Chain A
Amino acid sequence: MQGMMTVFYKELADHFNSWRGIILFITVLLVSIFATIGPSGALENIRAQLETPVQYGAGQYAFLYLFTTSGEDLPSFLWFITRFLVPIVGIVLGLDAINGEKNSGTLSRLLAQPIYRDAVINGKFLAGVVTIAIMLTTTILIISAIGFNVLGIAPSSEEIARLLLFWGTSILYGAFWLGLAMLFSVYFRPVATSAISSLGIWMFFSFFMSMAARLTANMLAPMSQTPTTPELLKNVGVQITASRFSPIMLFGEASTVLLAPGERTAAEMLQLYHASGARWMPGPLTLGQTLLTIWPHLATIGGLTALLFAISYIRFMREEIRST
């Protein structure tokens, strides 16, 4: 335990004292703030829409719009976080966790000290997660402050609860990418190889997953030239199931349900359709309904992270550590 905490404190300090950490932090902050207040960013859009409150269900979740509204040419904060910022931060913090120390010859010295091997991997993982948490906290607080000052809106208690849940979910999501990067850093000796491997997986999920899901769906549930409604629904159903293999999709759905309770993801609409045959949009989900909806998503991301971690463990615990 003491060994793990020592590794944790050192790694945490490293993350915030190294150029790598500082640049990451600045990138996250700048991108997030720009998405919110940049020219034709979220803020402008929200201001325009708040003036016509009818459209937005009387501005019930006005504060949350700050995080989910996209601007004219800029995607929303949530889009950046989902697709880009959290995966990159997780990957960059973990990509040379173990092989970096092998290459610099410090791992031999480290493991010759009276600590268990898992103290190294746990301490590093925890330091990465806390770093991600600190970055996300700062970012969310800054955006909230902007919203509060510029728009003059304060969050309701439900909105605060939703933001907290979103915060926790994003940390879990970051832990997944960190775990992925650390796994490769255990398996591959050259840092370039481990970096490319995690980035490749990120790129696949980020850019090609929807295409892959569509191909899978067209194969498993082919549609005729003029598809009937059941055909269409089946196809979309397979597409959604397939794309749920992507952690990006899982997090995207969960965070949309959390931060935009009035909106519906395609998956939800399909579910509702099957459940009630309803074609109209029901009102926003309550907090309880939201939790029920996102619970499987969270469990899956958490399970995937645990799996990645377990694989790293098994490899690392018995590995021979040579300094050359």
Chain B
Amino acid sequence: MAKQLVVQTVNLTKNYDKTTVVDRLNLRIEEGDIFGFLGPNGAGKTTTILMLLGLTEPTSGTAHIYGYNSTREPLKVKRITGYVPERVGFYDDLTASYNLAYTARLNGLPEELVIKRVGESLDIVGLSPVAEQRVGEFSRGMKQRLAIADILVKTPKVAILDEPTSGIDPEGIVQMLDMIAEIAKERNMTIIMCSHQLYQVQRICNRVGMLVNGKLVIEGLLDQLGREALGGGRVRIEIKLAKTTSKLVDCVKRIKGVVSVERSGDLLLITCQDDLRAKIAKAIVDANGLLIEMKIQKYALEDIYRKYFREA
């Protein structure tokens, strides 16, 4: 069954004076996707997003969200699209709940629903205890979470997040992204997310697109891309042993298909041609090793990124 197309751009182009910032972009994002929008600084990601939301006009080409033209029917687009801008801001003198209530009212929510929805949203992002605190007193991370709550208040079908994790500590990033992924799944929300945190994008996105100098150099499902990019796909397996000995390392190395084994502390990083988890586990047990943990990463988004960035 074909999924509904959520975002579609046709030859979307933006010029500033003479320089082309977004160049004939053709994007297709389907319902339920979590789309990682990647690219180096100045690639044109934010500009593309602004055109999707009707916050700036394309020089040529069109952008549609759920079939609505972003330039000509911006209100219809904005009714179903949530947006967290790059450097999200709130009214510092007002409380968190007042800020969110304003968003709710601007979306035409009936007054009896406003308070309820605001409370729920703050609860989900864990900001209920500071609901009545002025946003000016919030830390960067709290503001980013408030921005997610701001989207929840609206309950859109699509959420566009422009670097929602910038300025958050590593622990916070993981929490934040897990939260986003969970919300997306629960509410069947389509997510478009710009980020420079490749490892993090890989954790939650199923589809990525990479923009370099305004051109989409690669786009598709993450699994597929990984396989293509890394030539049939090498697999990286990470295992943790109770005690790592060189004897164990040797016996892993001897398994057919294993390309290399690296030791880093308690961890063994194994690169191989296939998913050899079963064989590796057996080899270790046979050699009387104690296997604590085993993880597989089919490829690293970073590798894909590097490859295409270099080519572009």
Residues of A within 8 A of B (CB): 2-3, 6-7, 10, 14, 18, 104-106, 108-116, 318, 320-324
Give the residue among A2, A14, A109 with the most B Cβ atoms within 10 A. A109
Known: A323-B85, A323-B87, A324-B87. A108 touches B108 (CB 8 A): no
Q: How far is the CB of A9 from chain B (nearest CB, A)?
A: 8
Q: Does B79 contact A (CB under 8 A)?
A: yes
Q: How distant is the Cα of A114 from the Cα of B150 in the complex, in angstroms?
A: 14
Q: How distant is the Cα of A31 from the Cα of B171 in the complex, in angstroms?
A: 56
Instruction: Report chain B residues within 8 Å CB of A10.
Output: 102
Question: Out of B76, B89, B106, which one reaches A113, CB within 8 Å?
Answer: B106
Q: How far is the CB of B153 from chain A (nearest CB, A)?
A: 10
Q: Does B107 contact A (CB under 8 A)?
A: yes
Give the residue among B50, B85, B102, B107 with the most A Cβ atoms within 10 A. B85
Give the nearest-CB partner of B90 in chain A: A106
Instruction: Report chain A residues within 8 Å CB of B105.
Output: 6
Q: How distant is the Cα of A255 from the Cα of B279 in the complex, in angstroms?
A: 95
Q: How far is the CB of A323 from chain B (nearest CB, A)?
A: 4
Q: Using an 8 Å CB-CB cutoff, how does the interface string of B148-172 with A read, 1 for contact, 0 for none? A: 0010001000000010000000000
Question: Out of B53, B86, B106, which one reaches A110, CB within 8 Å?
Answer: B106
Instruction: Report chain A residues within 8 Å CB of B15.
Output: none
Count residues of chain B with CB under 8 A from any CB of chain A.
31
Q: Does B91 contact A (CB under 8 A)?
A: yes
Give the nearest-CB partner of A100 in chain B: B91
CB–CB B87/A113 < 8 A: no
Question: Out of B56, B83, B87, which one reaches A320, CB within 8 Å?
Answer: B56
Instruction: Report chain B residues within 8 Å CB of A3.
Output: 106
Q: Does B55 contact A (CB under 8 A)?
A: yes
Q: Does B253 contact A (CB under 8 A)?
A: no
CB–CB B57/A318 < 8 A: yes
Give the nearest-CB partner of A321 in chain B: B55
Q: How distant is the Cα of A209 from the Cα of B304 in the complex, in angstroms?
A: 68
Q: How distant is the Cα of A18 from the Cα of B91 in the complex, in angstroms?
A: 12
Instruction: Report chain A residues within 8 Å CB of B137.
Output: none
- For this complex, 8 residue pairs linking A to B, each with C-beta atoms less than 8 Å apart, are A3-B106, A6-B102, A6-B105, A109-B83, A112-B53, A114-B106, A114-B108, A323-B86
Instruction: Report chain A residues within 8 Å CB of B89.
Output: 104-106, 108-109, 323
Q: How distant is the Cα of A203 from the Cα of B218 in the complex, in angstroms?
A: 58
Q: Does B128 contact A (CB under 8 A)?
A: no
Q: How far is the CB of B70 from chain A (nearest CB, A)?
A: 12
Give the nearest-CB partner of B53 in chain A: A112
Instruction: Report chain A residues within 8 Å CB of B86.
Output: 323-324
**Residues of B66-81 contacting chain A, CB below 8 A:** 75-76, 78-79, 81
Additional 12 contacts, C-beta under 8 A, given A6-B105, A109-B83, A114-B107: A3-B106, A108-B83, A109-B88, A111-B55, A112-B81, A112-B82, A113-B107, A114-B78, A114-B106, A320-B57, A323-B87, A323-B89
CB–CB B102/A105 < 8 A: no
Q: Using an 8 Å CB-CB cutoff, how does the interface string of B101-116 with A read, 1 for contact, 0 for none? A: 0110111100000000
Q: How distant is the Cα of A324 from the Cα of B89 in the complex, in angstroms?
A: 10
Give the nearest-CB partner of B93 in chain A: A18
Q: How far is the CB of A81 from chain B (nearest CB, A)?
A: 29
Give the nearest-CB partner of B143 in chain A: A105
Question: Out of A113, A116, A320, A323, which one reaches B103, CB within 8 Å?
Answer: A113
Question: Out of B55, B82, B92, which one reaches A108, CB within 8 Å?
Answer: B55
Instruction: Report chain B residues within 8 Å CB of A111.
Output: 55
**6 closest A-B pairs by CB:** A105-B89, A323-B85, A320-B56, A112-B83, A108-B85, A113-B106
Q: Does B133 contact A (CB under 8 A)?
A: no
CB–CB A112/B55 < 8 A: yes
Question: Out of A2, A318, A324, which one reaches B108, CB within 8 Å?
Answer: A2
Give the residue among A7, A105, A114, A320 with the most B Cβ atoms within 10 A. A114
Instruction: Report chain A residues within 8 Å CB of B91.
Output: 104, 106
CB–CB B75/A116 < 8 A: yes
Q: How distant is the Cα of A111 from the Cα of B74 in the complex, in angstroms?
A: 10
Q: How distant is the Cα of A322 from the Cα of B162 in the complex, in angstroms?
A: 12
Give the nearest-CB partner of A320 in chain B: B56
Instruction: Report chain B residues within 8 Å CB of A108.
Output: 55, 83, 85, 88-89
Q: How distant is the Cα of A301 from the Cα of B83 in the complex, in angstroms?
A: 41
Instruction: Report chain A residues within 8 Å CB of B102.
Output: 6, 10
Q: How distant is the Cα of A3 from the Cα of B150 in the complex, in angstroms?
A: 17
Q: How distant is the Cα of A6 from the Cα of B154 in the complex, in angstroms?
A: 15
Instruction: Report chain B residues within 8 Å CB of A109.
Output: 83, 85, 88-90, 103, 150
Known: A104-B92, A109-B83. A322 touches B50 (CB 8 A): yes
Known: A6-B102, A105-B89, A109-B89. A320 touches B50 (CB 8 A): yes
Q: How distant is the Cα of A254 from the Cα of B142 in the complex, in angstroms?
A: 54
Instruction: Report chain A residues within 8 Å CB of B83.
Output: 108-109, 112
